[in-house]
Structure 1
């Protein structure tokens, strides 16, 4: 059961390592003077999203540890040293949801996927990589918050994209999760199991593993979708962030904790919401996602004609959030950003003129801020497809597919991800990694 607020505060008061100024053991990423640090030096990185890492590491038939090793080697050769990975997944009736998953409504969590996470972390440690592990999802492609609501009977369950429940009904529904005590009791039991886990590969408790940079509350948690529901839900949303982050710290005080927020676009377009969501002492750094196609800043169907104006909005969006991070005196990680290839192609190696330009834009903003001594610590592009390929002719994920790519089941396999054949994009990533290494 969840700790009471009083018990949480008492436990945290007794913790010697909570807070931005706390010293970290050797090899652990920490925070000092509003920046990420590692062993007394600035910690800067080029990273990727690899949500399916635990699936590849699993001993089950869908696992592929040989591929996992090859993907990590390829990423390391590009200069990628930080991976944002999924450490959860809930059984869901959604047609586009992952299967298998880490858990159902009971406490019999998947030994195969938990072992897969152990393997992933062990293989990353061999390559001196750091992991950010998110523990829930606002979106239902991994089950996520709607799966918990389905288990507790909180409203009529429906999947994202259901025409009978047009947007923004979905974000209002998913955001009920924060105030659902039963759902959060289930979630906290899972948090305790994962954050308090001991690796079956290394024999080391997760809390003692410096391979983990941070635990993350969820992928893109939002307070809601409509103004009416979202604003009314803000106090509950803030409280959930504060108390869940603090709860993680009671289990593991050595690692950082982050929200997984997109920034203002995932916070009712309010900068005040971003600030309040990242203000708690147990939240160590700010996160930011940049999705110009999905936000209609750059048109899926007319990328050439809308790119310039969309890129300008992206620059301004990043700049605004750098200022917010400075105001909070906390580091900032641009942990998701993506753009489609030319003509919305899914084919590995297809022309990526604007995608490459967009990556370069984010990388240039990042490098400039690092040189200026700003709060930006690194980036994680979305996402690494590597040698994965769509298994279905229409490029949509089908339950049982095992050729995992970075594009989740809710979208075409290849829409935003970076394949090992995307030569021009790989060159942009590698060049940026080299520039950071020379700082």
Structure 2
């Protein structure tokens, strides 16, 4: 009888939530696009504080969470800011958040949003203050293969929700492959050699806009070492008439990738792409990518190392040429060496225009972290753990000890792999099959506990108060206030 009563109460709660929020669950993307017309640049006011309430209603799957009680404002006053989330299936009730009230950030935050991150020796600064890179990899922001049809551009609802999650976790940076790596398919930025698809820029422009709105910086790799759905260096090799075959990380012949670095016509084609991409003007902000402080920097590639193949790591001469081009186009942006790992005997650490050297950790290894950190600091550069396995499924050092080592590692930064959110209707989580997908605030008790560690890690890296509970995040994100947009933009009803 008690179970039946609880279920009826939860069903009543879900109905109350839907009644309180008469907005449709999702505007069609074309409608949202229409609300963001105007010449830009915008927004001009402080970064938006995300709504910290998960809404429900409609025919959602039972793994969606609904707020209890439904009145967010009343619950702030009555419960000192603590938010409860309830499982509509009645399986568990969990305290997951401290709700942030509707506040406005100050002028300092506006300045930080509009300022470039700079390198100072082995650390980074923003307006003269220490800046630590901490956050997720969200590779799908420009193009996603986990939805139907596959691939597709991610909806604005999904992008806005995930920005809210990143903000709630206290992150400062997102690393996202598909904001530049986009080659060889009809939906790509460059579907064929020297052919550009301007329609593919709309989701990229929007993702950059939303990062700007939420005060998050972006790190963008320029090419991939593999042949996944978004393309990579093998598209350029094929366009040059050099044969290869394979998918993902299984490419034959195993040394064919070296042509990407040592064939002058391919290098020229890649540099032409970089020039086109960095000079593209964002249709929402009116800012060229090369001039946008939302972009922390560009990574010469993703995992351009001799891990799986015999083509060798990216030669320092190639890295120097690409880094020099980036610096000439975007002198205020940082350059990350995308080699993945360290080859000091090659001259890798001597490339003048590289600001950050990175490594990836599957599984986490404090000893390898410390070895790479020592090499990087000796070269007077910044160290970045550009990807790391948060799951613990393959052993290695614990998430607690690895994050603690990062926190004490000077100016080093880190980005875990990888973050996903809900579908367009905020009902189901979007599934990915690599075994490293993180869903906030957790789909299992173990994931929830790791979410707490990762959120606390974000606070420690940024010098903020360490939360004892994690914040809930609205899906969809609530309408942005009219004050966020300039007067010539009809965005007051920008419902996500």
Q: 1:434 to 1:178 in 2, by over 3 A?
A: same
Please list, as runs of the form range in 1=range in 2, the aligned pairs for 1:29-428 lying within 5 A after superposition.
Answer: 29-55=117-143, 62-86=153-177, 87-92=179-184, 100-141=187-228, 142-160=230-248, 162=250, 165=252, 169-170=253-254, 172-222=255-305, 230=312, 237-264=315-342, 270-273=343-346, 276-292=347-363, 314-338=365-389, 340=391, 342=393, 358-369=398-409, 374-376=410-412, 378-387=413-422, 412-413=433-434, 415-420=435-440, 421=443, 422-428=447-453
TM-score by length of 1: 0.70
2:234·2:257 contact (CA, 8 Å) conserved in 1?
yes
Q: 1:321 to 1:144 in 2, by over 3 A?
A: same
- Unaligned 5+ segments in structure 2 are 1-111, 145-150, 465-496
Give distance in 2, aligned partners of 1:65 and 1:226: 37
Aligned position for 2:62: none
For the pair shown, which has the larger CA radius of gyration, 1 or 2?
2
2:357·2:382 contact (CA, 8 Å) conserved in 1?
yes
Aligned position for 2:87: none
Give 1:239 deviation, angstroms: 0.9
2:113·2:212 contact (CA, 8 Å) conserved in 1?
no
| Secondary structure of 2:142's aligned partner | helix
- Unaligned 5+ segments in structure 1 are 1-23, 93-97, 265-269, 293-310, 345-353, 390-401
1:332·1:375 contact (CA, 8 Å) conserved in 2?
yes
| Secondary structure of 2:335's aligned partner | strand
1:84·1:132 contact (CA, 8 Å) conserved in 2?
yes
Give 1:341 deviation, angstroms: 6.1
Higher relative CO (Cα under 8 Å, sequence separation at least 6) belongs to 2
Give 1:271 deviation, angstroms: 4.0
Give distance in 2, aligned partners of 1:194 and 1:404: 28
1:35·1:375 contact (CA, 8 Å) conserved in 2?
yes
- Measured on the aligned residues, the alpha-carbon RMSD in Å equals 2.9
Q: 1:67 to 1:431 in 2, by over 3 A?
A: same
Q: 1:176 to 1:340 in 2, by over 3 A?
A: farther
Give 1:237 deviation, angstroms: 1.3
Give distance in 2, aligned partners of 1:75 and 1:201: 21
Q: 1:160 to 1:70 in 2, by over 3 A?
A: closer
Give 1:321 deviation, angstroms: 0.5
Q: 1:245 to 1:223 in 2, by over 3 A?
A: farther
| Secondary structure of 1:191's aligned partner | helix
Q: 1:91 to 1:192 in 2, by over 3 A?
A: closer
1:177·1:183 contact (CA, 8 Å) conserved in 2?
yes
Q: Deviations over 1:261-300 (max 9, x none)?
A: 3213xxxxx4434xx22321211111121123xxxxxxxx
Give distance in 2, aligned partners of 1:99 and 1:384: 26
Aligned position for 1:437: 462
2:131·2:462 contact (CA, 8 Å) conserved in 1?
no
Give distance in 2, aligned partners of 1:363 and 1:50: 19
Q: Deviations over 1:120-142 (max 9, x none)?
A: 11111111100001111111113
Q: 1:37 to 1:182 in 2, by over 3 A?
A: same
